[in-house]
């Protein structure tokens, strides 16, 4: 299965990032289930047992486009100039389970039901585009349930099918893309989503009849729709002013409340715990203390699973489109793949590979550069921006799923395919530069510990987008996995390093190791 971050970045190359000096939406804008929140820093008050991490799942992806009114970037689908349908996936079509007797009409997914427009509040819901890559079907559904095809006269001009080239690489066979009336959109793999098809009938949104002049209720709600499972736009100054604090506020039946600040460029926060959930709000607070809040009330009896009697995810096959994983692929620990010929647990880092970064900056607190990454990153009590060179090579195509820590990209430039293979991993070394810990790899138990977009403590920016490759490195201590026989207390005193390599193949790599604390 293709790495999500590569699919997204291939789709976004060439898009503008900011207008009016405002914050922009970015590829991470609607990665609803891939974001990890540092709750201890961001929560205004935390009570109860809300989990700090959400599971890795492809549940909502928003792709940026410019607003017609010249405001901040908002997610939308990657437009295909032609309405040609993508080729049908080379997998068996999904057989949908039958809803329980007496289930609401919206439970029958083979009819392409309309989502709940009442969940969208002031966002202005325009409709949903269903794309079935098993059959090549594309169906546009208006809020009242009326169906049409993309390109029909009544279908908004901003509704396009996924670019067939990108659709062929997507790890989903069924995609649903919800549009607001200004053309912003977010998608969900509606058969593979862990919370169902994202129809939103469990939500009813209520907004105040009037809003202060400094708030745009529609844009504020478009940030909040990500919290409700629809995907959403990134927070920018046009939403509630440059200085307002905007938070997702989650309330529970036992009276507990959790408030998570939304950074610039980010969508609304995910909900970590649904048991006892009463509501989820988005709240904007001006510098003078004035607040404006939109509240979405939750009804657990109207989730797809409860109302329709169908377990979710509906079908694992709903995520089987696109390039398949190699047979027998397992996410192994770092330093046990091809890189182990050079880097191994308990072995010293080769001195000749220790390098000076092209950029090294120490930061504390929140940092935001709209041109560089387009999201607000929290360095907490201290972290680094580290830069290193990166090159691409003619004729190198995407390599498919690789070993842990390995990745590849490819793109076309002037009709010529270019790409590279990249390896990156955090390590911790002792005073003799001996590796005593490596980055925690992906496991079912630690699904959030993965190097990629949505990582609140480690954020890589490919060099194909930003010149040199960059890493935002925050508090990564929780990512350290001690090597066999190493006392975890020793790891706590160890020095952080970053192994980085690039080349045309895994056998032809240029390797460097960076130790930011030495800068």
Entry pTM = 0.64
SS3 49: coil
The pLDDT score that the predictor gives to residue 231 is 77
Find all residues with CB under 8 Å of 413, minimum gap 6, and list them. Answer: none
| Dist CA 235 CA 257 (whole Å) | 22
The candidate with the shortest Cα–Cα distance to 201, out of 96, 295, 315, 304, is 304
Q: Indicate if the pLDDT at residue 86 is higher than 50.
A: no
The pLDDT score that the predictor gives to residue 171 is 63
- At 218-246, the pLDDT tens digits run 999 999 999 998 878 889 889 998 889 99
Instruction: Name the β-bridge partners of 125.
Output: 180
Report residue 489 as tokens.
């207390």
Residue 148 CB coordination number (10 Å): 15
Query: Which of 39-53, 133-147, 392-406: highest mean pLDDT?
Result: 133-147
Q: Indicate if the pLDDT at residue 31 is higher than 70.
A: no
- At 445-497, the pLDDT tens digits run 554 344 433 356 788 888 754 468 999 999 888 889 999 999 999 999 999 99
| Dist CA 248 CA 32 (whole Å) | 13
Residue-by-residue DSSP string for 262-307: PPBT--PPPPS--TTEEEEEEEEE-TTS-EEEEEEEE-GGGSHHHH
The pLDDT score that the predictor gives to residue 444 is 56
The pLDDT score that the predictor gives to residue 456 is 62
- At 103-125, the pLDDT tens digits run 999 999 999 999 999 999 999 89
324 pLDDT band (50/70/90 cuts)? very low
Q: Indicate if the pLDDT at residue 247 is higher than 50.
A: yes
Position with higher pLDDT, 118 vs 10 = 118
The pLDDT score that the predictor gives to residue 163 is 66
The pLDDT score that the predictor gives to residue 293 is 98
Q: What percent of the chain lies above the pLDDT cut of 90? A: 49
Mean pLDDT score, 169-198 = 82
Find all residues with CB under 8 Å of 50, minimum gap 6, and list them. Answer: 39, 250, 256, 258, 272, 273
| Positive or negative torsion for Cα 236, 241, 244, 250 | negative
The candidate with the shortest Cα–Cα distance to 115, out of 179, 198, 219, 37, is 198
Report residue 266 as tokens.
């980010």
349 pLDDT band (50/70/90 cuts)? very high
The candidate with the shortest Cα–Cα distance to 213, out of 238, 247, 246, 236, is 238
Q: Tell the residue number behind the tokens 């409860």, with chain if given.
A: 306
The pLDDT score that the predictor gives to residue 28 is 28
Cβ(109)–Cβ(192) below 8 Å = no
Cβ(136)–Cβ(88) below 8 Å = yes
How are beta strands 74-75 and 458-461 bridged, if at all?
unpaired
Cβ(166)–Cβ(32) below 8 Å = no
Position with higher pLDDT, 248 vs 19 = 248
52 pLDDT band (50/70/90 cuts)? very low
């Amino acid at each position: 299965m293709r790495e999500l971050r590569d699919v997204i970045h291939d789709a976004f190359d060439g898009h503008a990032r900011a207008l009016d000096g405002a914050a922009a939406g970015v590829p991470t804008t609607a990665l609803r289930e891939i974001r990890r929140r540092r709750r201890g820093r961001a929560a205004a008050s935390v009570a109860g047992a809300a989990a700090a991490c959400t599971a890795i799942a492809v549940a909502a992806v928003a792709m940026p486009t410019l607003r017609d009114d010249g405001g901040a970037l908002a997610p939308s689908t990657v437009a295909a100039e032609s309405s040609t349908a993508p080729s049908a996936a080379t997998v068996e079509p999904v057989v949908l389970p039958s809803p329980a007797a007496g289930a609401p009409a919206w439970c029958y997914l083979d009819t392409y039901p309309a989502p709940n427009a009442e969940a969208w509040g002031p966002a202005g819901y325009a409709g949903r585009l269903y794309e079935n890559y098993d059959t090549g079907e594309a169906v546009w559904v208006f809020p009242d349930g009326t169906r049409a095809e993309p390109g029909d006269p009544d279908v908004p001009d901003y509704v396009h099918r996924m670019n067939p080239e990108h659709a062929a690489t997507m790890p989903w066979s069924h995609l649903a893309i919800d549009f607001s009336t200004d053309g912003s959109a977010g998608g969900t793999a509606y058969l593979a989503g862990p919370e169902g098809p994202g129809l939103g009938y469990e939500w009813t949104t209520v907004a105040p009849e009037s809003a202060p002049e400094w708030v745009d209720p529609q844009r504020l709600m478009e940030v909040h729709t990500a919290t409700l499972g629809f995907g959403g736009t990134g927070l920018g100054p046009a939403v509630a002013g440059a200085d307002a604090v905007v938070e997702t506020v989650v309330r529970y039946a036992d009276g507990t409340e959790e408030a998570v600040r939304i950074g610039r460029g980010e969508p609304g926060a995910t909900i970590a715990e649904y048991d006892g959930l009463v509501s989820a709000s988005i709240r904007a607070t001006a510098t003078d203390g004035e607040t404006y809040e939109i509240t979405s009330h939750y009804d657990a009896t109207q989730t797809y699973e409860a109302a329709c009697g169908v377990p979710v995810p509906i079908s694992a096959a709903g995520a089987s489109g696109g390039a398949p994983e190699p047979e027998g692929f397992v996410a192994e620990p770092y330093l046990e793949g091809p890189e182990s010929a050079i880097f191994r647990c308990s072995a010293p880092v080769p001195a000749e590979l220790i390098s000076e970064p092209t950029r090294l900056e120490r930061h504390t607190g929140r940092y935001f550069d709209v041109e560089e990454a387009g999201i607000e990153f929290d360095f907490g009590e201290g972290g680094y921006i580290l830069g290193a060179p990166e090159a691409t090579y003619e004729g190198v195509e995407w390599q498919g799923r690789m070993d842990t820590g390995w990745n590849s990209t490819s793109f076309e430039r002037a009709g010529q395919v270019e790409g590279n293979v990249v390896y990156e991993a955090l390590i911790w070394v002792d005073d003799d530069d001996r590796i005593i810990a490596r980055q925690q790899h992906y496991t079912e138990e630690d699904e959030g510990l993965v190097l990629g977009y949505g990582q609140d403590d480690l954020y890589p920016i490919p060099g194909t987008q930003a010149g040199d490759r960059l890493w935002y490195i925050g508090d990564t201590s929780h990512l350290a996995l001690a090597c066999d026989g190493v006392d975890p207390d020793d790891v706590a005193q160890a020095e952080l390093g970053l192994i980085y390599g690039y080349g045309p193949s895994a056998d032809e790599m240029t390797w460097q190791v960076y130790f930011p604390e030495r800068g």
